[in-house]
A = this chain, B = another copy of it.
């Protein structure tokens, strides 16, 4: 099957077999595509963190959202949560093996972003200049 484009790059053919199906792509994005999950994963990639540590390391996240995010990660088996029944209470979060495997993916995202950030920014400027009032933004 020819890809039929004139571009320079070769094509990894991300097609999902022979069906026009949603691969598992949307599943991953529904999991880490939210506002905070990746940032939590990035921080936990550095090592074990406590709740407050995480919150301080991720500027702008609310207590509520940190709780929700970390709960969902725990539910999906990406993070472990260990409670130390001390006073005041201590709760430690750590990536599971699967959670660590995610960091490679996140690194790929970061790399792609770094490589194309400028090109995208410029493309936007150009497009915005050519389409002054277009609803999009």
Tell me, rounded to whole Å, the shortest Cβ–Cβ distance linking A132 to chain B. 13
In the bound complex, CA of A47 to CA of B4 (Å):
5
Query: Which chain B residues border A38 with CB–CB below 8 Å?
Result: 25-26, 29
Verify if A89 is at the interface (C-beta below 8 Å from B).
no
Contact with B along A54-78 (1 / 0, CB 8 A): 0001110000000010011011111
Query: Which chain B residues border A136 with CB–CB below 8 Å?
Result: 68, 71-72, 75
Helix, strand, loop or mixed for chain A's interface? helix
Query: Which chain B residues border A127 with CB–CB below 8 Å?
Result: 74-75, 77
Do B114 and A24 touch across chains, with their CB atoms under 8 A apart? yes
- Of the candidates B43, B77, B112, the one whose C-beta lies within 8 Å of that of A123 is B77
Query: Which chain B residues border A57 with CB–CB below 8 Å?
Result: 20
In the bound complex, CA of A118 to CA of B31 (Å):
14
Do A109 and B105 touch across chains, with their CB atoms under 8 A apart? yes
Q: Look across to chain B and name the residue whose beta carbon is closest to the beta carbon of A44.
A: B5
10 interchain residue pairs of minimum CB distance: A77-B123, A24-B113, A4-B47, A33-B33, A9-B100, A75-B127, A23-B110, A28-B113, A14-B107, A5-B47
Question: Given A9-B101, A14-B110, A76-B124, 5 more contacts at CB 8 Å?
Answer: A2-B47, A4-B47, A14-B45, A24-B113, A25-B106
